[in-house]
Structure 1
């Protein structure tokens, strides 16, 4: 049998399908293993290139394969899908063959393997995210149920939460509904406590981290965002520049260009929605800080934010600020330097001689 050099792996909960090829690219065999059998088989192989989709347990298997002398490569599922022979014949074996074909592409983009520490921190973020989603669902459910009895307390979650103690003792509501409100209020308190506990764990994790401390110097970027960024991005130097880093987080316009005409639409929303949401929330606080500050005391960046808000509106300004935060985070992590908001003062900015100078304040 020809020597195996490349293996495509399709991971599942109980079984693992593999498609192995030799140096010439010819398929040697395709097989489905149980988890223990796959580990025993992979240990016996000479150092090989393993391709895996970046799905559940992929980072664990990538670390395990690397510890046994192999070279693991993780790929996003959307980059593997075009190499599947037929959409009508999707199964584990065909998926493994598609992974094998994809990992051999010279221009394929790979996902960096996360360390155990990064995944441990991300686990707390995922738990917090789940609690937050459950809290939102509970509030919406209670609001809808109370609406069936003619009770309306507005769209704000804070307003409804403050009204629950009074509604629990409102004689105009049936006894069963009042008991329901009491149960919902207690459950909401437990969720708030759980969310706060997750945030404490996350903040303690990055308390002594120098990179996290540098990131939080940016207005609107707090410990949660810094921890999520460091845990999600294995190596920021995988990105060529800050623009690529912001595009990876879905903070750039979608392109539909053809024939030399550029057409830009809404943001792509690629990447991790949780991380993008944290950046957007931080951008909201930065925008509010700029709007309420006295005009003569605004920084150069805050002046740009206020002008942009007046020109394009609230939501587009949030995206622009989040994009700028992402670029600055990349610069801090890639260069290993502290954030200096006055660094622009040390660089001379001269208008080009071939074109008129642009008006307005730029960041």
Structure 2
């Protein structure tokens, strides 16, 4: 039996809902309050419910799934072509209802609350790292204003701040010294927060066989392993490893017409955080190849010679993405090819 189709234009307080039966007849087309959403769907027989990907979409998808409905999340780019008339919430709901039925629409896998919690940990750490970088740059600039040139590097700068504060001969005014001391205390606090969060990553890896499995791949550590597990689970949403690499935008863009394939550059779309981790991991792996003679190391060395270091780094990141998908999807162990 075919299911009726409903769509929700998600918001904070007012939710626009559109529904159609199997014959395309409109069942509902109105806006209701947040408090009435779950009650409304609890009184409906099982149906397909579509929604755009946004900050609360995974929560609503989980709640609707508990009620027996089939929740589907899609990116807004699949909805926009089907919007007719003015841009408003009800018209968006109609467009979502159309887009959810199209065979070409790609849907976002619903994340569990545990996956979202791990991603929240990653976002918090990333925020603290950015704040630490900004604070270090501020400290470096303030010291330069008084003729004190800080050494290069984060660790060298942190070690130098204490000496600057204790040096009574550097002619640093008392007010400036007090502010610099406050900045230094805040820096130590941020360092402690980052260290605590990184210990959380180690704990998560110890309780995840899949994370331990993909950490055997060159350039993949606890941070990358945990964010991969939280982002894609076992990778069932991808048909092959190249699809995962393409989702991360680690493959060239294609503009082909008239039977002439044209490949361009990689873009900055996709999951920027995960792509950055894979690229940095690949850079670390390539720069530490040394005299290794396994098949992957020889492939990397040859690629560096032919195409240069930066292209080789991105190529290894794309290869690692495909390897990670294969390990998760096929439940296999990573073995270094000799």
What's the TM-score once normalised by structure 1's chain length?
A: 0.86
C-alpha distance in 2, partners of 1:78/1:148?
48
Q: Is the 8 A contact 1:16 1:33 kept in 2?
A: yes
Q: Which moved more, 1:207-216 or 1:259-268?
A: 259-268
After superposition, where does 1:91-170 map in structure 2 within 5 Å?
91-153=88-150, 156-169=153-166
SS at match of 1:267: coil
Q: Is the 8 A contact 2:143 2:150 kept in 1?
A: no
C-alpha distance in 1, partners of 2:81/2:154?
43
Give how far 1:106 is off: 1.6
- 215 and 4 in structure 1: CA distance in 2 versus 1, 3 angstrom threshold: closer
Unaligned segments of structure 1, at least 5 residues: 346-363
Deviation per CA, 1:220-274: give whole Å up to 9, x if none.
1112211111111034122111111111111111223333333322212332111
Q: Which moved more, 1:193-202 or 1:328-337?
A: 193-202
Unaligned segments of structure 2, at least 5 residues: none
After superposition, where does 1:294-309 map in structure 2 within 5 Å?
294=291, 297-309=292-304
Q: Is the 8 A contact 1:20 1:27 kept in 2?
A: yes
- 46 and 203 in structure 1: CA distance in 2 versus 1, 3 angstrom threshold: same
C-alpha distance in 2, partners of 1:12/1:85?
20
Give how far 1:208 is off: 2.8
Q: Is the 8 A contact 1:4 1:23 kept in 2?
A: yes
Q: Is the 8 A contact 2:252 2:265 kept in 1?
A: yes
Give how far 1:53 is off: 1.1
1:355 matched to which residue of 2?
none
Give how far 1:174 is off: 2.8
Q: Is the 8 A contact 1:62 1:113 kept in 2?
A: yes
2:269 matched to which residue of 1?
270
SS at match of 2:29: strand
What's the TM-score once normalised by structure 2's chain length?
A: 0.92
- 253 and 45 in structure 1: CA distance in 2 versus 1, 3 angstrom threshold: same
2:217 matched to which residue of 1?
218
- 137 and 98 in structure 1: CA distance in 2 versus 1, 3 angstrom threshold: farther
C-alpha distance in 1, partners of 2:224/2:272?
12
Work out whether 1:181 is the aligned partner of 2:187: no
2:29 matched to which residue of 1?
30
- 4 and 168 in structure 1: CA distance in 2 versus 1, 3 angstrom threshold: same
Give how far 1:151 is off: 4.4
Deviation per CA, 1:249-307: give whole Å up to 9, x if none.
111112233333333222123321111111112112101211xx23xx43221122122
Give how far 1:169 is off: 4.0
1:352 matched to which residue of 2?
none
Q: Is the 8 A contact 2:50 2:71 kept in 1?
A: yes
Deviation per CA, 1:50-84: give whole Å up to 9, x if none.
00111111111111101101000010122222222
Alignment length (residue pairs): 335
Give how far 1:209 is off: 1.8
Aligned match of 1:327 in 312, 315, 322? 322
RMSD: 2.1
Q: Which moved more, 1:137-146 or 1:235-244?
A: 137-146
C-alpha distance in 1, partners of 2:140/2:87?
43
